[in-house]
Each structure stands twice: as structure tokens, then as C-alpha cells.
């Protein structure tokens, strides 16, 4: 079931929709950054400092400068257009927190899987998770400075994505770039859910 929240807009007295979106991906890929960049409200964050104990279980290779990690979720909100808002839930990246994913994914319209081409294998678990649960998703390649540039087709093939799954390039720090990713997801997820609805009544 997809979470659709309706509320009255006092200005025009119109009904506004709010849809739930997940932002997932590997450790240190930029999930917290993306939610914070696009959110029109102060984002809720559950970050903690990385500890020596965590070094035994968290792979920080390639993200050596990272000093904090999300331990529950990030939360933000963005208005895509009049009458349509997205509630963004950023998932924790480490596998020791994956038990939270089932709760966070309840009622989600779709998901953004952030990918870093330097650590592409880190997003495999998220891709598998959403494919197995038939949750529509787009892969957003976060273009880090100094990383080799790969085209969308190359990334799609490397991840062995189902045909039609969108792959987009983005900068998780940039609000407009992040908003374009979310618009692409809403459009894609809308088509998928509509097609499923038609199939169910056909």
C-alpha cells in the first residue's frame, strides 16, 4: 500500500498530496547530503560519530574523510509543484541497520538508489531489496569530484538492472539536481503503479 497523505491548503483550499520516497544506497554515498540539499524544512538527522568499534564492521575504504553515520533515518520534505509534496526518508547505509528498511519502506511510492561508481558494488543490496519487493526505483549516480565518469548505460549494465529502470547522473549537494532526480522517480513510479493497476483490473 502506498502512503498518500492529503491535507487542505488554506490559501487556495485545495487538497494537497504528500508521497513517501526512500533514499537508499551504500555507506557514505551521499544520502544525508541529498535529503538535506533538497529539503525545504530543516531535515531530521540521526547521525552519530563513527567509533573505533564501528571500524570493525563499517567499510570506510574510499570514504576515509567520513566521520559520522546515519543510525536510523534522515527525513525531509520537498514540494515538487503546487499540490504535490514528497516526504523523503533516507535509509541507513550499513548492513547492520538494514532491519530498519522494512519499516521505512512501508507505503513508499518508490525509491532513489544513490550510487558511487568508485564503490558501485555497495548499492547492490539496495537494488536487490527494491527489485524483490517490486518497489519502483531510479539509480542516481552521485558524481564525486575525481571519480571516473561512467554513462547511464554502463552503470545500468554493471548493476544488471531490469529493462526500463532509469539511471540518472546527479550532484547530491545541488538542490536542483536532486529535485530532477525526484521528479524522474515520481514520473517513473507513477507509470509503474498505473500499469499494475490496469493489469489488476484487466
Find the CATH number of the domain harbouring 77: 3.40.50.300
Residue 55 lies in a domain: no
Please give the residue range of the domain that contains residue 101: 17-45+69-200
Quote the pLDDT of residue 144: 83
Residue 56 lies in a domain: no
Residue 187 lies in a domain: yes
Quote the pLDDT of residue 22: 97
Residue 59 lies in a domain: no
Residue 162 lies in a domain: yes
Residue 176 lies in a domain: yes
Quote the pLDDT of residue 43: 85
Cβ pair 41, 77 in contact under 8 A: yes
What are the tens digits of pLDDT across the range 63-82?
455 445 554 578 999 999 89
Segments of the chain with pLDDT less than 70? 1-15, 45-72, 93-98, 147, 202
Quote the pLDDT of residue 44: 83
Quote the pLDDT of residue 35: 95
Cβ pair 141, 127 in contact under 8 A: no
Measured distance CA(50)–CA(141) in Å, rounded? 25
Quote the pLDDT of residue 53: 46
Q: Give pTM, 2 decimals.
A: 0.81
Quote the pLDDT of residue 54: 46
Total H helices, total E strands in the chain: 5, 9
Residue 37 lies in a domain: yes
Residue 2 lies in a domain: no
- How many Cβ atoms from other residues are within 10 Å of residue 90's Cβ? 30
Cβ pair 53, 37 in contact under 8 A: no
- Domain count within the chain: 1
Amino acid at each position: 500500500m502506498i502512503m498518500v497523505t492529503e491535507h487542505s491548503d488554506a490559501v487556495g483550499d485545495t487538497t494537497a498530496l504528500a508521497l513517501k520516497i526512500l533514499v537508499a544506497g551504500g555507506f557514505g554515498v551521499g544520502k544525508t547530503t541529498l535529503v538535506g540539499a533538497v529539503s525545504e524544512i530543516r531535515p531530521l538527522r540521526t547521525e552519530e560519530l563513527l567509533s573505533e568499534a564501528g571500524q570493525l564492521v563499517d567499510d570506510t575504504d574510499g570514504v576515509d574523510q567520513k566521520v559520522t553515520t546515519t543510525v536510523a533515518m534522515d527525513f525531509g520534505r520537498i514540494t515538487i509543484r503546487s499540490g504535490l509534496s514528497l516526504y523523503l526518508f533516507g535509509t541507513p547505509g550499513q548492513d547492520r541497520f538494514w532491519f530498519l528498511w522494512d519499516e521505512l519502506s512501508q507505503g513508499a511510492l518508490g525509491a532513489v538508489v544513490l550510487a558511487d561508481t568508485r564503490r558501485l558494488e555497495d548499492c547492490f543490496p539496495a537494488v536487490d531489496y527494491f527489485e524483490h519487493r517490486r518497489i519502483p526505483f531510479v539509480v542516481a549516480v552521485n558524481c564525486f569530484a575525481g571519480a571516473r565518469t561512467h554513462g547511464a548505460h554502463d552503470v545500468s549494465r554493471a548493476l544488471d538492472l531490469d529493462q526500463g529502470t532509469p539511471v540518472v547522473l546527479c550532484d547530491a549537494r545541488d538542490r536542483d539536481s536532486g529535485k530532477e532526480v525526484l521528479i524522474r522517480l515520481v514520473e517513473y513510479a507513477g507509470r509503474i503503479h498505473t500499469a499494475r493497476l490496469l493489469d489488476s483490473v484487466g
